[in-house]
Structure 1
Amino acid sequence: MRQLSELDASFLYLESANAPMHIGSIYLFDASERETPLAFSTFVSYLRSRLHVVPVFRQRLKEIPLRMGHPYWIDDPDFSIERHLAYVSLGENSREASLMTLASKILEEPLKRDRPLWHITFVDGFQLGGDKEGNPGFALIVKLHHAAIDAFSGAEIMGKLLEYTPKPQPISAPRPWQPRPKPSEERVMLQAGANILRTPWRVTSIAAGAVEATARGLIQKQLRRIPLSFPLFTAPHSPFNRQITANRQIVSAKLDLSRLKAIKATLGDVTLNDVVLGLCAETLRRYLGDQNASNDESLVAMTPLSVRSSTLNRTTGNQMSAMLLDLATNEQNPAKRIRRIHWNAVASEPYREAIAADRLTELLPSAMLALSARLYSELQIAQRYQPVFNLPITNIPGPQVPLYLQGARLVQQYNAAPLFDSMGLVIVAVSYQGSLTLNFTMCPDVVAKGNSLRNHAYASLDAIEQAASMLDPEDMHTPLEETRSQSMADSAMNLLEGSLKKLTSRLRR
């Protein structure tokens, strides 16, 4: 048995009917070079032959009684690939808009916990492109639970499942696989007992679970009476930070990667990631202006950083650090803003000593972690006070060479990220074959007129190019003053760790 880490388990505890915690991807393939359309049965055989490269595809969760520890991954003795696949035909006259509408509906549905946490919908019969006579294509709508992978390992998994040659390769027979025996309840309890012996205070999670309802009521009553002023909650209010519903919308903008690289070269000592963040910041600033929302206070993004070892053999689980980053949206010049973002990231302490995301949870017993996640949502803390951050932004470098599936070329990839309470918008940037796609996952009941984000992204790139060309060379060497990013993340971490250490020291007594 392989136990989930604190960070992996937190995505299980955060999940609700309105906030499924899976990562979604939509892959569009051009099948015009194939002699015949790719049949769904052929795809099933192809995927069956490659299951061995992704062991988590045949593993499901095993819960620990009384929540004495986090769940384990075990081999699913009842695994059947058919339970994880679906087929949809949109019709020959359908276009990408119909596909994205379908994908939004599919991604609204949580994955079922009684089986491995993934699902793929094969979508057939639509035409690629906007022309009347578009190329025949098909798509894959993929859901992978965030407890099993992070965004970086998700890209690695799909890279392993696809091919690098346009010539269809023979589909080999599936490798023999025999599930390891399901652990007995006695073994599970013994393992849980061993965990308690290593950290005796964890047994208090059982008591915490027993009084959970009472604790939730008491805390809710006190929070409503006392106007708390946590230094942690320092991000400004924005239209994105409201209670979400189950509805989802995906909006994407495809941009030429060479244009972003040219901006990087013009601005000098910045990274391509800084330029991507600057593009997101300008897009958000323009959207807020359209919504008559204030830009006086700068938005704060949570940016995941991969800490995956180059020698790591498995590509599952969450191995990330996270940084709270001031996006400098109160800076009017979009080229100067990129320099400010670079300073906020590189020159700040959080960048040199990035916040390990699992440090936020490693001190909490599992029942208390689940309770805190539900409290954050149920008490609407982000709405009553200021949010910790306004939105997550993830930049995932993708392959710059074409990928194929049985002779069909991957022409476009869209990505969706999970939303949770008070976070109605997430941006995922993915590069592939010379293009960068900005993917906006949003709750349309929170983010009004979300389709406008696409045009704002195009206009933002134009504006940054113009501002960069007019920037005085002396401005690129002017020292920048400290901003709140340099202290905000450390203050937040110190506050949380201090509180948790006090709590755990009391529990050990």
Structure 2
Amino acid sequence: MHQLSELDASFLYLESETTPMHIGGVYLFDASGLETPVSYATFIKYICSRLHVAPMFRQKLKEIPLRLGRPYWVDDSEFSIERHLAYVSLGERGKKTCVNALAAKILEEPLKRDRPLWHITFVDGFKLDTPEGDKDGFALIVKLHHASIDAFSGEEIMGKLLEYSPVPRAINPPRPWQPRTEPSEERVFLQAGANMLKAPMQFASLAYNTAEAAARGLIQKQIHKLPLPASLFTAPHCPFNRQITGNRSIVSASVELARLKTIKAQLGDVTLNDVVLGICAEALNRYLITQGTKTTTPLVAMTPISVRSSSLRRATGNQMSAMLLNLATNETDPALRIRHIHRNAVETEPYREAIAADRLTELLPSTLLALSARLYSELRVARNYQPLFNLPITNVPGPQVPMYLQGAKLVQQYNTAPLFDSMGLVIVAVSYEGMVTLNFTLCPDVVRDGESLEGLVHDSLDAIERRAEAAGEAVIDQPGDASPKSLSNEIYNYLEGLLKKRPLRFWR
């Protein structure tokens, strides 16, 4: 048995009717050059031959009685591929807009918990819109639960499922697989008890971290009674920071990777990730202007960072850290803003430790985290308080060589991420074969006119290109204090100033 981490389990407990917690993907294939089309029956055989690439495909959840601990992953002795695949034919209407609309509806539905947490819909009748005219193809709509993967490992799993050769290979029979016997309720109960007994030893081995966490907790009890310094957590209210519904919409915009590399070269000491974030910031800026809600306070993004193992043979799960990043949307020059974003990212580097996802959940049980999120939603806290950040933005590197499924070429992919209450918009950027696709997962009841984001991305890239050369020569004023910043130091410095003015009684 492999037990879920606190972070993985939190994605299970956070799930509700309006917040399904799976990562989604829409994959479009060109099958026009094939002598024999890829049928649904062929696809079933193909998937069966590839199930060995990751254990998660044949493992399901095993709950602990009375929820005395986190669930386990166990082999599904009743595994059936038919429970994870579906077929949809679009007839003659299968353009990209139809596929995206279908995907939005499919992705609104949570995955069923009595089986491995993944599902693929095979979409037949898809027509690729190309300059040469419509071409025959098909699409895949994929759902993988966030409790079993993160965006980075999900991209690698899809890479393992597909092929790198345009020549259709013979489909091998499935590798022999014998599920391990599912543990009894008594065995799971005993294992939960053993884990509880080991907890004191684990806390002892983490004495330093526990003491540090306790000290921080002591300070936090006082922080909530005091006005926070202006430099901390000042994300403004935005239209997409409101309570969401269960409706979903997918908007995507693709740009050439070469154009982004040119901007990077012109701006100098920045990264490609900074350029991607700069395009996102400019597009969001323009969107807020069109909605009449432009704010002078810079938007703040949460950017996940993968810290996972490079081997899919190990437990996949969620192995990531994150940092809060000021997107400098108060800067009027969209190209110069990218240099500000780079500086903010460098200065924010120490913040990673402060909000690393695994450390946040070490001492905070996943059930308590879920309860807090539910109360946050039901009490509509987002309406009365400023958000910690405005939206997540994830940049996932993908393969730059073409990939195939039985000779059909993957021409484009769109990726989605879960939404939360007060987080009605998520951006996932994925690169593939010389293109970068910005994928906007949004709640249309919160983010109105979301389809305009596609055009705004292209307008933003054009504007950045026009200003890139001049911005590359500009000098950004550096802060007077060049010493590295950290979250704890800023809090301590702020409290030190307060202590000099009036005493604080920490024992209350």
Deviations 1:236-292 (A, max 9, x none): 111110000000000000101100000000000000000000110000000001111
1:350–1:489 contact (8 Å) kept in structure 2: no
- Find the aligned partners of 1:493 and 1:289 in 2 and give their Cα distance: 38
C-alpha contact (below 8 Å) 2:285/2:294 kept by paired residues: no
The one-character-per-residue Cα deviations of 1:171-210 (angstroms, maximum 9, x if unpaired) are 00111111110101111111111111122699xxxxxxxx
Q: State the shift of 1:126 in Å.
A: 2.0
Q: Which residue of 1 aligns with 2:148?
A: 148
Q: In structure 1, what is the Cα distance between the partners aligned to 2:226 and 2:81?
A: 50
The question of whether the paired residues in 2 share the 8 Å contact of 1:301 and 1:326 is answered with yes
Matched position secondary structure for 2:173 = coil
Instruction: Give the Cα–Cα distance (whole angstroms) in 1 for the partners of residues 43 and 166 of structure 2.
Output: 16
Distance 1:351 1:78, change over 3 A: same
What's 1:305 paired with? 305
Deviation digits for residues 298-327 of structure 1, max 9, x if unmatched? Answer: 011000001123467436200100001010
For 1:25 and 1:490, locate their aligned partners in 2 and report how far apart those are by CA, in whole Å.
41
Distance change >3 Å, CA 399–CA 341, structure 1 → 2? same
Contact 1:69 1:365 in 2 (8 A): no
Structure-2 separation of matches of 1:377 and 1:147: 21
Q: Residue 478 of structure 2 aligns with which residue?
A: 479
Runs (5+) with no aligned partner, structure 1? 203-225, 496-505
Q: What is the SS of the residue equivalent to 1:153?
A: helix
3-state secondary structure, aligned to 2:33: coil
Asked if structure 2 preserves the Cα contact closer than 8 Å seen for 1:31 and 1:407, the reply is yes
Moved more, 256-265 or 291-300: 291-300
The match for 1:209 is: none
Structure 1 runs (4+) greater than 4 angstroms displaced = 226-233, 351-354, 480-483, 485-495
What's 1:340 paired with?
340
Residue 396 in structure 1 maps to residue 396 in structure 2: yes
1:172/1:349 Cα in 2 relative to 1: closer, same or farther (>3 Å)? closer
In structure 2, what is the Cα distance between the partners aligned to 1:142 and 1:493? 46
Residue 427 of structure 1: aligned partner: 427
Deviations 1:348-368 (A, max 9, x none): 343674732111111023432
Deviation at 1:335, TM superposition (A): 1.4
Distance 1:246 1:489 in 2: 37
Spell out, residue by residue over 1:484-504, the C-alpha distance to the aligned partner (whole angstroms, 9 max, x if none).
Answer: x95569879999xxxxxxxxx
What one-letter code is carried by the residue in structure 2 that aligns with 1:368? L
Q: Where does residue 78 of structure 1 map in the other structure?
A: 78
Give the Cα–Cα distance (whole angstroms) in 2 for the partners of residues 340 and 320 of structure 1: 25
Instruction: Kindly state the Cα deviation for residue 72 of structure 1 after the two structures are TM-superposed.
Output: 0.5
Q: Please, which moves more after superposition, 171-180 or 369-378?
A: 369-378
The structural deviation recorded for 1:295 is 2.5
Residue of structure 1 in register with 2:452 after alignment? 452
Q: Which residue of 1 aligns with 2:216?
A: none
Q: Which residue is equivalent to 2:377?
A: 377
Matches of 2:226 and 2:13, distance apart in 1: 25
* Contact 1:24–1:417 under 8 Å retained in 2: yes
- Shift of the alpha carbon at 1:346? 1.3
Secondary structure in structure 2 of the residue aligned to 1:276: helix
| Separation in structure 1 between the aligned mates of residue 327 and residue 305 of structure 2, nearest angstrom | 16
Aligned to 1:219: none
Shift of 1:375: 1.8
**How far 1:384 sits from its partner (Å)?**
1.8
Q: Is the 8 A contact 2:266 2:472 kept in 1?
A: no
After superposition, the Cα gap between the structure-2 partners of 1:110 and 1:300, relative to the gap in structure 1 and judged at 3 Å, is same
Is the CA contact 2:55–2:313 (under 8 Å) kept in the aligned structure 1? no
Report if aligned partners of 2:147, 2:318 keep a CA contact under 8 Å in 1.
yes
* Alignment-derived partner of residue 215 in structure 1: none
| TM-score normalized with structure 1 length | 0.88
The answer to whether the 8 A contact 2:118-2:145 is kept is yes
Instruction: Give the Cα–Cα distance (whole angstroms) in 2 for the partners of residues 405 and 311 of structure 1.
Output: 23
Structure 1 match to 2:64: 64
Q: Report if the CA contact (8 A) 1:237-1:387 is conserved.
A: yes
Q: Which moves more between the two structures, 381-390 or 50-59?
A: 381-390
Decide whether aligned partners of structure 1 residues 489 and 9 sit closer, same or farther in structure 2, where only a CA change above 3 A counts.
farther
Q: Output aligned runs, 1:24-43, within 5 Å.
A: 24-43=24-43
Amino acid at match of 2:302: M
**CA positional deviation for 1:10:** 1.0
The residue type paired with residue 103 of structure 2 is A
Choose 344-353 or 281-290, whichever is displaced more. 344-353
Percent of aligned positions that are identical: 69
Deviation at 1:410?
Answer: 0.2
Letter in 1 for 2:381: I
Match of 1:273 in 2: 273
- Structure 1 segment 284-323 matched on structure 2, within 5 A: 284-310=284-310, 313-314=313-314, 316-323=316-323
- Pair 438,482 (structure 1): closer, same or farther in 2 beyond 3 Å: farther
State the alpha-carbon separation in 2 of the partners of residues 282 and 296 from structure 1. 14
Partners of 1:276 and 1:487 in 2: how far apart? 25
Amino acid at match of 1:120: I
Question: What is the aligned partner in structure 2 of residue 6 from structure 1?
Answer: 6
* Worse overlay, 310-319 or 281-290: 310-319
Q: Please identify, of 44-53 and 343-352, the stretch whose mean Cα deviation from structure 2 is larger.
A: 343-352
Specify the alignment match of 1:213 in structure 2.
none
Q: Deviations over 1:337-394 (max 9, x none)?
A: 1111101111334367473211111102343233222222222222221111100000
61-70 vs 353-362, which deviates more?
A: 353-362
Match of 1:501 in 2: none
Q: Distance in 2 between matches of 1:492 and 1:106?
A: 45
With over 3 angstroms needed to count, the CA separation of the structure-2 counterparts of 1:25 and 1:228, relative to structure 1, is farther
Shift of 1:36: 1.6
User: RMSD value over aligned CA atoms?
Assistant: 2.6
- Give the Cα separation in 1 of the matches to 2:40 and 2:489: 51
Assess if the C-alpha contact under 8 Å between 2:426 and 2:440 holds in 1.
Answer: yes
Structure 1 equivalent of residue 413 of structure 2? 413
